[in-house]
Amino acid sequence: MALELRKMSGTFGVEVTGIDLAKGVSANEASLLQAALRDRLVMVIKNQNLSPKQYVDGIKVFGDPMHQHLAKLLMDEHPEIAVLDSRVANSKSADGKIMPIGSKDWHTDHTNHAKPPKMTVLYAVKLPKEGGDTGFANMQAAFSGLEEVEQSHLLSLKTVNVLEQNLSYVDDKTRQSLPPQKHPFIRTHPETGKKAIYVHPGKLAHFEGMSPSESKALLNSLLDRVLKPDITYRHKWSMGDLVIWDNRATLHVAHTDYDPSEGRILHRICLEGDVPA
């Protein structure tokens, strides 16, 4: 079967069929995949059947895997992979509620790193009977839809990012090695030059020059206004799905409309990025 690319929504997203990452891809296929992901920001590669080694090797067509700070979730034999299992990979919210990883807020990954991952990849290993979708938002479209006066103001803001204190899957050594990081709130994509809202609410200590409460109010107001259906895509998982997205231009969230005790298991790889600008 030949490689096929199909757009999934109006502003972003592309579905890929006709490739087997376990067998590798040709130079021409790699170029087409890279260009499609650059332009469409979220890619769903269907019908994969990958061992952990095949997963690590196959995804290198998009970049090099980086170390993840989810220290207690890393696979022993392949530490590039974090095992996100809803039965064990969880944290507590402020009210004590157990939250499966990635489910609390719309966010981009690892903003508490000096060089956050340019992309994140999830591969479905086990799925609940129903629910457990992952949502994505095109934050380039979100920013471009704002009035110029507001865009100018947001371009002046910097975020101060820290690792949350309530993450049970981060060890003390990892926590101590990750000091606060400052990043632009509006990030310019290094390949396309497009600008996007770039934030992880859980890791946002505050905007530079603002109090935590002022920062939270500004961010919540903005996200409430821009996270609309016309810039979002909700992925309903099927076994064999591999989903990769551009952290520099999108936000994502894991929906919790399922029974976590059933086991929603996704294998995650993050790809090395650069300093946000």
181 and 195 Cβ atoms separated by less than 8 Å: no
Buried b (16+ CB within 10 A) or exposed e, 187-212: bebeeeebbbbbbbbbbbebbeeeee
| Mean pLDDT for back-to-back runs of 10 residues, the chain (277 residues) | 89 96 96 98 98 97 92 91 84 57 82 96 96 96 98 98 64 61 98 98 96 97 97 96 98 91 94 98
Collapsing DSSP states into helix, strand and coil, what is residue 150? helix
Domain ranges of the chain: 4-271
User: For 4-271, which CATH class?
Assistant: alpha beta
pLDDT given at position 96: 57
pLDDT given at position 261: 87
Angstrom distance (rounded) from CA 149 to CA 252: 27
Which 3-state string (H, E, C) describes 252-270?
EEECCCCCHHHCCEEEEEE
- Model confidence pLDDT, tens digit, residues 178-207: 689 999 999 999 999 999 999 999 999 999
Q: pTM of this prediction? A: 0.92
pLDDT given at position 93: 52
pLDDT given at position 256: 87
Which 3-state string (H, E, C) describes 178-238?
CCCEEEECEEECCCCCCEEECCCCCCEEEECCCCHHHHHHHHHHHHHHHCCHHHEEEECCC
pLDDT given at position 35: 98
pLDDT given at position 242: 98
Q: Give the sign of the dihedral formed by CA 142, CA 147, CA 152, CA 157.
A: negative
